[in-house]
Amino acid sequence: MRASPEGSTGRHLGRLALVAAVAVATPACAQAQRPGPTNSLTDVAGIEVGQVEQNGDGFLSGTTVILMRDGGTASVDVQGGAPGTRETDLLAPGGLVTEAHAIVLSGGSAYGLAAATGTMQWLEEQGIGYPIAGGVVPIVPSAILFDLGRGGDFSKRPDADFGYRAAAAATDGPVAQGRVGAGTGARFGLGTASVVLDNGYTVAAIVGLNPAGSPINPETCMPYGMFLELGDEFGLVAPSAADCAPADGGGAQPESGETFNTTIALVATDAPLDQTQAQRMAMVSNSGLARSIRPIHNLGDGDAVFAVATGDGSGEVDRGALQALYNAAADALGRAVVHALLAEGSYCEDYPSACANR
């Protein structure tokens, strides 16, 4: 039987006390985590990123290649209703091949999957791939987002040359953000983030942010993912009432009414995960999109999250550390969403007072 309001007063006060205790304890707990040296995907050892984009002459699109020269245990989780992917079946646990040599994120909708062919060509030229008699077969899964026609010409989209040049340009330096690579024609660009856990493992994420939903809370005009911030990495303050009225939060749909979108992402760690564990990390990491974008995983979105582990396979990660890795990956992906939003630039144009300290 439901307790009366009067009878629940003690329990209610107890809950408030518990919430207050958690709020006080949270900053101390958060100090155990910090962004990596570049706060980007390449903070994970064994990861390189290369990007190519074209803006002008009808183009507004690009390609991002995540390169693992020594291979990385890989899996994927697809939650969107309209995905465009390549080689994702290969990433299900239980098959022959458990590692990928590159992951390609690209604009161009289904046409953009051709970029992976160029990345395969470059890897073959370097002798990188799954060894077979007579040569190697590079394993290059891919996912795309919809940006067709956003530069003015529907036929101008990434092809194999984009994937080849992006692979050739890959480095382990800081990753450029905003309207670069796969984020060039996306609604909110490309972003990345990393975190070093107190157990020494690094976790990082990269995202091409092109959702049908919005990363901005229309009630506060702040990013939904603000609560995930480490330190003062976003550098935002609450916008003025004038900036936040009317609070449209970027709208639930693109201005054109276009319903084809997709947010594509990758999370990575230097922990030694097997493919089943990598798959679980991809699945949990999709929660990072749910924490920072609303609504998410719509019928017109092809949302996909890859997971890569570059650890050498020595040793095991215990259950507690695994759960910490998974949650850190989800949070890093949510933070990458905010970085994409800020790097793209339109947020600070719309809410200049929120960016006064940036």
Task: Show me where the domains of the chain are located.
Answer: 34-355
**What confidence score (pLDDT) does residue 313 get?**
66
Per-residue pLDDT tens over the stretch 81-115: 889 999 999 999 999 999 999 999 999 999 999 99
Cα–Cα distance measured from residue 288 to residue 224, given in angstroms and rounded to the nearest whole number: 11
Helices 319-344 and 275-292 meet at what angle, rounded to 10? Answer: 40
Answer whether 137's CB lies under 8 Å from 96's CB: no
Comparing 16 with 320, the larger pLDDT belongs to 320
- Count of helix runs (H) and strand runs (E) in the chain: 6, 11
**What confidence score (pLDDT) does residue 260 get?**
72
**What confidence score (pLDDT) does residue 20 get?**
39
Per-residue pLDDT tens over the stretch 264-321: 999 999 999 999 999 999 999 999 999 999 999 988 888 999 999 999 766 788 999 9
Per-residue pLDDT tens over the stretch 159-216: 999 999 999 999 999 999 999 999 999 999 999 999 999 989 999 999 999 999 999 9
Q: Phi, psi at residue 294, to the nearest 5°?
A: -140, 135
Architecture of domain 34-355 in this structure: 4-Layer Sandwich (3.60)
**What confidence score (pLDDT) does residue 316 get?**
83
Rounded percentage of the chain residues whose pLDDT exceeds 70: 87
**What confidence score (pLDDT) does residue 33 get?**
84
Average pLDDT, the chain: 88
Cα–Cα distance measured from residue 301 to residue 215, given in angstroms and rounded to the nearest whole number: 14
**What confidence score (pLDDT) does residue 11 get?**
35
pLDDT surpassing 60 at residue 4 = no
**Cut 0.85: pTM above it:** yes
